[in-house]
Amino acid sequence: MLRLNITRICLTLLPFVILLLWLGLRPDKNAERLNSYSSPKSLTDRLAYDNSSKETPDFNPNHKIVFPLVFPIKGMKFDIIKNIPDSRLPGAARLYRGANATHIGVDLYTGKCGLEVVSPASGWIISISPFEEFPDSRTRDSILKITEKAGFTPEPVLSNLHGISVVVFHGWNDAGEGFYSRLSHLERLSSNFKVGDFVNRGQILGYVGATGTSAQFKTGKEKESGCHLHFEWHVLKDGKDTVLGLKESDFNAKRNLYLQLFSP
Ligand SMILES: [Zn+2]
């Protein structure tokens, strides 16, 4: 009698045991989903928390730019440009890169790393330099000796000095001028996006850092004080690529040009 009951209980439980086994052995849907995120996918999908539009437009090389630009560091006001020292503007000397080397961006110092860096206008990512392994400070110094001797900064050296860097193409205005921005020294990129992805105006691209600079080898306060965004604004016109404000000899004129970019 007792044996019969045990058999009956076992038979009643059998479907549940099978169900539990199946639940335990079936492929993990969550894991599958996570894996699929590491494969190339649209940036707007992966940055859903940015409230990006669902559609990822195809790369449109004729895209129209929209001014004014959004200041590329979230939470900072664009009028800090009024007080940027000359040495952090385009055209300032960069003697450590050779006698004729000049700075071709605006250095926006933040006092700490990690602030959000956003795209100043919508557009397409056209270049990413994600240095995985930076040289140690001795190697960096040796690389810089090449520029001293050459008298200018060869492209691969410059690319090394930019650290983690993103370039976004923002389109054209009615006068036929094209625009792109470069955002450099990022601590890290916001996502595993790829060249060709569309980004919205104000969309987070990464975080302020010190990569590619001498500050990246420092620790604590010294590193924090070296954290900045190197922002370049390029204008394509008449077959030339020029950097806004590079040619102006007056540094106040340079500041005004950059203030105009962001002024409503
Ligand atoms: Zn710079």
Distance in Å, CA 58 to ligand 1 centroid? 32
For 33-40, what is the mean pLDDT? 31
- What residues does CATH 2.70.70.10 cover in the chain? 53-262
- In angstroms, what is the span from residue 122 Cα to ligand 1's centroid? 22
What 8-state DSSP symbol labels residue 95?
A: G
How many C-beta neighbours within 10 Å does residue 117 have? 26
DSSP 57: P
CA dihedral angle for residue 87, residue 92, residue 98, residue 99, rounded to 10 degrees: -110
Cα-to-centroid distance, 183 and ligand 1 (Å):
9
State residue 48's pLDDT score.
32
Burial per residue of 143-172, b for 16 or more beta-carbon CB atoms within 10 angstroms, e otherwise: ebeebeeeeebeeebbbbbbbbbbbbbbbb
Q: Tell me: pLDDT of 41 over 90.
A: no
For 205-230, what is the mean pLDDT?
94
CATH fold of 53-262: Glucose Permease (Domain IIA) (2.70.70)
DSSP state of 55: -
Ligand 1 midpoint to CA 8 (Å): 79
The dihedral region occupied by 34, where left means phi > 0, alpha psi between -120 and 50, and beta the remainder, is alpha
What are the pLDDT digits (tens) for 226-254?
999 999 999 999 999 999 999 999 999 99
- Retrieve residue 49's tokens: 């928390």
Taking the centre of ligand 1 as the mean of its atom positions, its distance from the CA of residue 109, in whole angstroms, is 10
The pLDDT value given to residue 47: 36
In terms of Cβ atoms closer than 10 Å to its own Cβ (0-12, 13-18, 19+), residue 59 is: middle
pLDDT tens-place string over residues 117-158: 999 999 999 999 987 778 888 998 999 999 888 888 898 888
228 C-alpha to ligand 1 centroid (Å): 8
pLDDT exceeds cutoff 80 at 258: yes
Alpha-carbon distance 193 to 47, whole Å? 9
pTM for this predicted structure? 0.78
Residue 154: is the preceding peptide bond cis (ω within 30°)?
no
For ligand 1, the distance from its centroid to the CA atom of residue 230, given in whole angstroms, is: 4
Dist. CA 191 → ligand 1 center (Å): 23
Centre of ligand 1 to C-alpha 107, Å, is 5
Sheet containing strand 204-207, edge to edge, reads 116-118, 204-207, 188-189
